[in-house]
C-alpha cells in the first residue's frame, strides 16, 4: 500500500450511511465510558454544503 493510499484509507469512515431523508425527534443513550467522533455532511443540489462534527468523551 502506498503512502497516498494509506492516507486516503485513514479518511474513510468506519460506518457510512447514505440516507436521502432523515428525521430525529429524540435520541437517548445510557452508556459508561463512551468515546465518539460524530460528523455530518449534507449537500443540497451542489448549492449548499453543511459540515458539522462533535467529539464526545463520557
What is the model's pTM?
0.37
pLDDT score recorded for residue 27: 77
pLDDT value for 9: 58
The string of pLDDT tens digits covering residues 2-32 is 666 655 556 676 767 677 777 888 878 787 8
Question: Where on the phi/psi map is residue 48: left (φ > 0), alpha (ψ -120 to 50), or beta?
Answer: beta
Residue range 37-52, pLDDT digits in tens: 888 888 888 888 888 9
**Ramachandran sector of residue 44 (left: φ over 0; alpha: ψ -120 to 50; beta: rest):** beta
Amino acid at each position: 500500500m502506498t503512502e497516498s493510499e494509506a492516507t486516503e484509507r485513514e479518511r474513510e469512515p468506519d460506518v457510512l450511511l447514505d440516507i436521502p431523508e432523515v428525521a430525529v425527534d429524540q435520541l437517548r443513550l445510557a452508556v459508561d465510558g463512551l468515546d465518539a467522533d460524530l460528523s455530518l455532511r449534507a449537500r443540497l443540489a451542489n448549492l449548499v454544503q453543511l459540515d458539522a462534527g462533535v467529539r464526545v468523551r463520557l
